[in-house]
Structure 1
Amino acid sequence: MKRKKLKIVLLVVFLALASLFWGYQKVERFANQPLAIQQETIFKLPAGTGRVALEGLLVRDKLIHNGRWFPWLLRLEPELAEFKAGTYRFTPGMTVRQMLTLLASGKEAQLSARFIEGSRLRDWLQVLQESKYIKHTLAGKSEAELAKALGLPEGDTLEGHLYPDTYLYTAGTTDLALIKRAQLRMNKTLQDVWQARDTSLPYKSPEQLLAMASIIEKETAVEEERTKVASVFINRLRLGMRLQTDPTVIYGMGDSYTGNISRKDLETPTAYNTYVISGLPPTPIAMPGLASLEAAAHPAKTDYLYFVADGKGGHTFTTNLNSHNAAVRAYRQVQKEKNEK
């Protein structure tokens, strides 16, 4: 009788252990299965989300097919249940356990906004407006209101004063915070470049160097040409010649610019039309990168006074008007041949 009871007890224990082992295997299989995604997925975990609510979100968003084993996994590995609110990036192949480990780490997704060299303030605001998960606070604000929000003195401009680069941020970061980071970085970069500049250059302030850099940025994207372009404009300033650079005309035209500049546009006075005004424009006309800032601070030593596109992606630099006119004719011939093909 005792032996029979012992067999029954052993059988029950065996079945219980087998059941536990079977359950453990199921939980392990669930923990090690990949999320049901084929591409990077951004997942937002709201503050105050508990275990049951998280399971519901994962099933709702079809990140897991079935949440049956989800609570058991959290009981077996309670450290995975310490998830933190935030916005996270899930990648293909990530397992359920890896996903929970990420949520417990609090390492939110690093999102990015890219601002290119030569872009203008209005371009930056458009990029920010289209960037996902940014908290928008600047919609509808004028440049003057934006400058005020950054604590700038009345009348100061942001044009040219934001450093172009790719900026990383986490969800919920404000557009103003990103603008502030770019502003501080440009201020620091400009001061460093100003301190190391060729002091013989005819700049009266860092703002003028920044304005020159913005013109260089708009005139050429060819790295080795930047210092030559800078030399042309420096030589013109020293001789009292007008800069006569089209990008300043375009900037001064504002929204009336439709892609072409006429002779009338060149002759129409604006605060920025360097065919009409002498010296540099009153403010930068774009956001220059480091290469253009360095070129403005250290131009090449040349006698060049003119340059024109060569039709091949670069420019032809000349020292006198006759040579410049010949270069212009050569450019027009290249364009004519291209159009005839």
Structure 2
Amino acid sequence: MTDPAAPVPFPDPEPGQPGQRRADRGGRRADRGGRRSAGRGRGRSGCLPILAVIAVFAVLAWIFVPRAWDSVSGVFAGPEDFPGPGSGKVTVVIDSGQTIRSMGAELTDQGVVASTDAFVDAAAENPKAQRIQAGTYVMKKEMAAADAVAYLADPGNMRATRTVTIPEGSRLAQIVDTVAAKSDFTKAQLGRLLEQPGKIGLPAEAEGNPEGYLFPATYELPDDLTPKALFSEMVALTASVEKELQVPAGARALDLTPHELMTVASILEHEVNRPQDYPKVARVIYNRLDLGMPLQMDSTVAYVSQREGDPWTTAEERESDSLYNTYQHQGLPPGPIGSPGRQTIRAALHPAAGDWLYFVADFENGGTLFAESYSEHQSNVARVQEYCQTSDDC
């Protein structure tokens, strides 16, 4: 986005399926016999179509009845749930004031339970669910919802260990500051370790830069934890999420490398703050790349200037020669500009369908205004400018 108070920097791309009478016993007996034989023949051939129809119905029933039963039983089977008992380790933080449904949504996102509805239903059947306390819990992945509710409802399972939470989109410097503030590690210790990325298991795709590869999540800080162990856990979680979301295959389908895909996801974290807008902004990025247009993302410029607190950049900032300046350089920046979370990675993998090339923050309604043409974008910017003249929201 660009400063609505400044000249709009976006160029116009200008693109372009018993009835028979008794006969005498002599000469006609053979005829009667013949007719009787013929009558029997007609009886058999008349039965054959009926048998064929029955056979067809039998085959159809054999094919479709099980499927219909599966569909009906699926309706009454209840929400998706894991059989349990689960495996692995996930640190879950329950905040004060969280609802049962929001807990279920968070547990689903972290892979602890299969669905929010399964957790909500299990909580409704467990009277102790209302006693779940805010705190930190170490749980397993793929737990049965009833087991997850019972685990959280037991105060003895709450961990007293210190934790540190890395928000989505956090930049490397911000992660260092956050970890240093929550632990006994110094910024100098953490900085020296990050200058030796091989020690924390950084993947080759990162090309030695840990930016974007320290996954945003909540981590435990036991007394015996080392900086190396903490950063290694963050890198390992990034690799785990990439595998979970099938980033390599998804990136290939978009003609990107995994590193480029993570770069796009990191840009989404800083350009908009509503999950429903992430796939649309991803589409804007891909549309611009396809047309050879510069991305002109203020988020990448702010990464260079370390601007915080607002989404705008100045004309001076946009004159930087840094390769991260997507006003001056075409294509994606060299790497991520922060640590993307699951939602933005998914959005980068699955962009919305559309021809949008521009977007600007809609401060009045709390969303984003998208446009396919430059003239439409100018109208949106004028609308935002008018609102910002009389509002402190901008």
| Length-normalised TM-score, structure 1 | 0.62
2:202 pairs with 1:149: no
Q: Does the 8 A contact of 1:160 with 1:288 survive in 2?
A: yes
Q: Which amino acid aligns with 2:385?
A: R
Match of 2:163 in 1: 112
| Greater gyration radius | 2
Q: Does the 8 A contact of 2:193 with 2:199 survive in 1?
A: no
Q: Per-residue displacement from partner, 1:28-76 (whole Å, max 9, x unpaired)?
A: xxxxxxxxxxxxxxxxxxxxxxxxxxxxxxxxxxxxxxxxxxxxxxxxx
Q: Does the 8 A contact of 1:198 with 1:298 survive in 2?
A: no
Runs of 4+ in 1 over 6 A off after TM superposition: 256-259
Q: Does the 8 A contact of 2:251 with 2:258 survive in 1?
A: no
Q: Per-residue displacement from partner, 1:191-250 (whole Å, max 9, x unpaired)?
A: 4431452744231x1000000000011111101111001010011111111111001001
Aligned-pair identity (%) = 31
The 1:120/1:238 distance shift into structure 2, 3 A limit, reads same
What secondary structure, in the 3-state scheme, does the structure 1 residue paired with 2:242 have? helix
2:379 pairs with 1:326: yes
Q: Distance in 1 between matches of 2:276 and 2:210?
A: 28
Match of 1:269 in 2: 321
Mapping for residues 123-134 of structure 1, pairs under 5 Å: 123-132=174-183, 134=184
Q: Does the 8 A contact of 2:201 with 2:236 survive in 1?
A: no
The 1:234/1:110 distance shift into structure 2, 3 A limit, reads same
Q: Which amino acid aligns with 2:378?
A: N
What secondary structure, in the 3-state scheme, does the structure 2 residue paired with 1:338 have? coil
Match of 1:59 in 2: none
Q: Distance in 1 between matches of 2:284 and 2:193?
A: 32
2:291 pairs with 1:225: no
Q: Per-residue displacement from partner, 1:88-112 (whole Å, max 9, x unpaired)?
A: xxxxxxxxxxxxxxxxx9x983221
Q: Distance in 2 between matches of 1:114 and 1:144?
A: 19
What secondary structure, in the 3-state scheme, does the structure 2 residue paired with 1:117 have? coil
CA apart distance, 1:155: 5.1
- For these two proteins, the number of residue pairs brought into alignment is 232
Q: Does the 8 A contact of 1:109 with 1:170 survive in 2?
A: no
Segment of structure 1 superposing worse, 171-180 or 113-122: 171-180
CA apart distance, 1:270: 0.9
1:201 counterpart (254, 261, 267): 254
CA apart distance, 1:150: 2.0
Query: Any stretches of 5+ residues in structure 1 without a counterpart?
Result: 1-104
The 1:199/1:297 distance shift into structure 2, 3 A limit, reads same
Q: Which amino acid aligns with 1:324?
A: H
